[in-house]
Amino acid sequence: IAPYLLKIFFDVSDKDILNYSRLALIYLLFVPFNLTIKYMCTYQGSGASFFKLNTVTDLLKLVLLGIFIPFFKIYGVIIAMILNEFISMIILLVWFIISNKKFKSE
């Protein structure tokens, strides 16, 4: 789907479109980790934390897209996606460490 969407939103040639699509997939390295922590938040029964974490990570994504697209065009999308997942991973990791201190065994 990515090659077709890139053609719609950006002026790219057919030979470059696969390279852009491959670069856009780099963010998938962080997705399993982020989803695991988000689902752990849900399974712990912390609906408020899940809502806050999703809101913060989605707002971060919008802000990064708004910052990078005007300057870097198609590379801005790729940079924003990768940075969003990386920063989200750090936020979720910090949340996980802080929230699980109360479950620490003595």
Q: Is the pTM of this model over 0.85?
A: no
How far apart are alpha carbons 71 and 67 in whole angstroms? 7
pLDDT band at 104 (very low <50, low <70, confident <90, very high): low
What is the per-residue pLDDT across 68-97, written as a single tens digit (0 to 9) for each?
Answer: 999 998 899 899 999 999 999 999 999 888
pLDDT at 102 over 80: no
How far apart are alpha carbons 46 and 32 in whole angstroms? 20
Mean pLDDT of 4-15: 74
pLDDT band at 2 (very low <50, low <70, confident <90, very high): low
Q: Tokens 């971060």 appear where?
A: 60
